[in-house]
């Protein structure tokens, strides 16, 4: 019985983790749908979001069904065990009936009959505690094992309007996604002149995204330099570099709030500057 309970407990914990993961995706989808309801209606995405919501509900209920099935099987097994123990107890009492009093036999039968429900509650509480402790362990592992972003050894002073020209130069760049990983960029060297357009083409996995991540300082640079207006960005704070660069995504991204907040989340520009910028792009 101990072996059965051990195996059942392991399966129950795994199924519970699957249920938590499935529910988290469902909750995330629900929150995103409520927050972006106006956008969904504007683009006519109601059907797609309903289908995705139904799919996520099915996944969440599938894990919950497995969990309920395990609980039902455990309850049945414990009931069978209780019947066996009660039968043995009655047989012992009938065999040596002169050795036991009626009160002791009654108390023993009551204890045996409540054994199943007590053990069931204990198993549920124990598995919930183990899954909760496992979540805390994963968070702690993420905090302890995730590498912190490297800080520039020497911070260079840049002008307020940097980069004014927009000249970008990659000099024999070698970069990787992690210090111990294989380089994803090897000996990259090219120059983007001011006011010029450049298209980076290639198959999936050739390093297009990695090149942009290296420009934003989001991957580990091992050798080489990236110069923007003759300034080595490795000597500039990463937050400052990212604040001076702008990325136009393929899909629109709106932050909940006003138009002004979407235009200038940090509040560094005046209303007149924002109005002029909108007028220049015909908005």
For position 255, what pLDDT does the model report? 73
| Cα distance between residue 148 and residue 154, in whole Å | 17
State yes or no: pLDDT of 6 exceeds 90.
Answer: no
Stronger pLDDT, 181 or 174, i.e. the higher one: 174
How far CA 270 is from CA of 189, 257, 273, 281, in Å, comes to: 39, 17, 5, 17
Helices H / strands E in the chain, number of each: 8, 4
Q: Mean pLDDT for the chain?
A: 83
For position 51, what pLDDT does the model report? 93
Going along the chain from its start, the domains and CATH numbers come out as 2-145 (1.20.1560.10), 168-247 (3.40.50.300), 257-283 (no CATH)
pLDDT one-digit tens code per residue, 131-168: 777 778 878 888 887 777 766 655 677 888 888 888 99
How far CA 13 is from CA of 3, 6, 77, in Å, comes to: 16, 11, 18
Strands (E), the chain: 168-176, 185-192, 220-228, 231-232
pLDDT band at 49; cut points 50, 70, 90: very high
Q: Mean per-residue pLDDT for 249-261?
A: 77
Residue 112, Cβ neighbours under 10 Å: how many? 19
- Specify the pTM: 0.53
Stronger pLDDT, 195 or 51, i.e. the higher one: 51
Reading the block at residue 132, the tokens are 């909760």
3-state SS, residue 92: helix
Helix axes 2-35, 46-95, angle to 10 degrees: 160
| Cα distance between residue 183 and residue 9, in whole Å | 43
- In the 8-state DSSP scheme, what is residue 186? E
């Amino acid at each position: 019985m101990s072996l059965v309970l051990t195996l059942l407990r392991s399966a129950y914990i795994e199924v519970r983790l699957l249920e938590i993961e499935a529910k988290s995706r469902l909750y995330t989808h629900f929150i995103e749908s409520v927050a972006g309801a106006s956008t969904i209606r504007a683009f006519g995405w109601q059907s797609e979001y309903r289908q995705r919501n139904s799919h996520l509900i099915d996944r969440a209920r599938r894990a919950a069904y497995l969990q309920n099935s395990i609980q039902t099987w455990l309850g049945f097994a414990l009931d069978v065990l209780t019947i066996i123990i009660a039968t043995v107890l009655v047989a012992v009492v009938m065999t040596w009936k002169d050795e036991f009093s009626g009160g002791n036999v009654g108390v023993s039968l009551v204890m045996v009959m409540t054994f199943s429900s007590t053990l069931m509650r204990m198993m549920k509480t124990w598995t919930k505690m183990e899954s909760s402790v496992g979540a805390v362990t994963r968070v702690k592992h993420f905090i302890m094992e995730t590498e912190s972003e490297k800080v520039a050894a020497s911070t260079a002073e840049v002008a307020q309007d940097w980069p004014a020209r927009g000249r970008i130069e990659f000099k024999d760049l070698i970069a990787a996604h992690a210090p111990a990983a294989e380089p994803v960029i090897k000996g990259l060297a090219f120059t983007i002149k001011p006011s010029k357009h450049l298209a980076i083409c290639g198959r999936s996995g050739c390093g297009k995204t990695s090149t942009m991540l290296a420009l934003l300082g989001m991957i580990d640079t091992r050798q080489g330099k990236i110069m923007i207006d003759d300034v080595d960005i490795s000597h500039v704070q990463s937050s400052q570099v990212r604040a001076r660069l702008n990325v136009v995504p393929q899909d629109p991204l709106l932050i909940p709030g006003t138009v002004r907040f979407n235009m200038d989340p940090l509040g560094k520009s005046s209303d007149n500057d924002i109005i002029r910028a909108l007028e220049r792009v015909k908005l």
